[in-house]
Structure formats: structure tokens, C-alpha cells
Amino acid sequence: MTTSQANQRLAYATQLAKLFPEQGAWTEEDYFALPDTNRIVELSDGRLIMPTPASDPHQKASIELALALKQHVDANDLGEVRYAPMSVRLWEGKIREPDVLFVRKEHSDRMGETVYGPPDWVAEIISRGTRKTDEVDKRAEYAQAGIPEYWLIDPQRKTIRVFVLREGKTAYTLAATCTPGQVARSETIEGFEVAVDKIVS
């Protein structure tokens, strides 16, 4: 690409950017007016957040976890399993896209065509650039939204951390940190467990 072509593309991108709200001014209406994409796009405090594309270890962990959870949920008729990209409204103006989520059968009214209400279980897989968001921001937000259980999968450190929202609490309690050779068990999805090696090997 020549310098002239690069400058033309930059000018075009700048003009396009002016058609959209500034960061900090995005609304849910703006968010849902975006064109369909396979990229994860979240809305938080009026800002659009677009994490870097998932790495191969992230993809493997996501697929293995979603398949194991779906098999268990379907076999026991517990509800529905979904995976990103899928918009979840934690509250007005706070939309996240968990890597994997579970909604109980009795909460099927939370499942919409384009956005879900808070699910009953969520998991995030830490990727390059998402550690703080997953470990700090989303952990606090999911607890605030009342999601009973949050799994944090860390392919780099080869761990699965299980966080549970205890009765009467507003922040998660770390229930377990599971490492290779161990089995991670859910406290809120009856009978669900998975070998750590299967997810983060």
C-alpha cells in the first residue's frame, strides 16, 4: 500500500468514526444499532469495548468447556448453554459477552433474540489483554448482577478458579482453585464437573 492509499484510508476511517458516538456517550440504542459481527463487542459505562481476537488456547478452552457443560445440562434437562458472542445485559447500560453461560430452565424468560438477562452461571477465559477485565471488572459486575457462580479459566497459568456468590453477600467467594490433575466442580449446577487438563492442557 502506498502512502497516498494509507492516508486515504485513514481519512475515510476518521470520517466514519464521526458518524458514531464518542467513547463514554454510547447508549444501548447505539449498541444494538451496530451491524452484526463475529467480534465480541461489549458496552460498559458508555464505552464500546472490543477485546483482541481470541488465541488458540482460549478457543480450545471455550469449546471444551461449552461442550462438557452442554452435554451435562442436556442430559439432565437443566436449561440452556450458550457461548460468545452473545450479549448479556447485566443492568441498563452494562452489556457483557461471557465466553460461556448457562441459563436454568426456570429462567428461560431471560433468553431473548438479541440479548439475555443475567444468566445463572458464567465463565470467562483469560486472553492476552483481558486479565484485569476478567479478574477484577467482570468479577465485580457479575456478582453485582447476582450471577450465582463465575468460573475463571486461565490457560497461561493452567488453572480454573470457581467463584460463588454466597447467600447475603455482594462479592464472590473463591470456592476453589483447580490445577492440572484435579477436577473443577460447580457448586450451583448439580453434578457438573470437568477435568482441568481437558480445558487448559
The CATH number given to whatever domain includes residue 67 is 3.90.1570.10
β pairing state of 47-49 and 79-83: unpaired
CA distance 176 to 30: 39
Taking residues 81-99, report their average pLDDT: 93
Taking residues 171-200, report their average pLDDT: 97
> What is the per-residue pLDDT across 145-173, written as a single tens digit (0 to 9) for each?
999 999 999 999 999 999 999 988 999 99
Q: 23 and 13 in contact (C-beta within 8 Å)?
A: no
Residues 63 and 105 in one domain: yes
Residues 43 and 62 in one domain: no
pLDDT for the residue numbered 55: 83
Residues 117 and 73 in one domain: yes
What is the residue-averaged pLDDT of the chain? 89
Helix (H) or strand (E) holding 87: strand 87-91
Residues 94 and 136 in one domain: yes
pLDDT at 109 over 80: yes
- Written as nine digits, the cell of 130 is 483481558
Residues 85 and 124 in one domain: yes
Residues 66 and 158 in one domain: yes
Residues 76 and 106 in one domain: yes
Residues 78 and 161 in one domain: yes
Residues 93 and 37 in one domain: no
Name the residue with cell 458496552: 43
57 contact partners, CB below 8 Å, separation of at least 6: 155, 156, 200
Residues 73 and 164 in one domain: yes
| Least confident residue range of 27-31, 81-85, 98-102 | 27-31
What is the number of structural domains in the chain? 2
Instruction: Note down the domain range covering 12.
Output: 3-49
- Written as nine digits, the cell of 125 is 477465559
Residues 171 and 120 in one domain: yes
- Quote the pTM value: 0.81
124 contact partners, CB below 8 Å, separation of at least 6: 98, 99, 130, 134, 138, 150, 151, 152, 153
End-to-end CA, the chain = 41
Residues 124 and 169 in one domain: yes
CA distance 129 to 114: 26
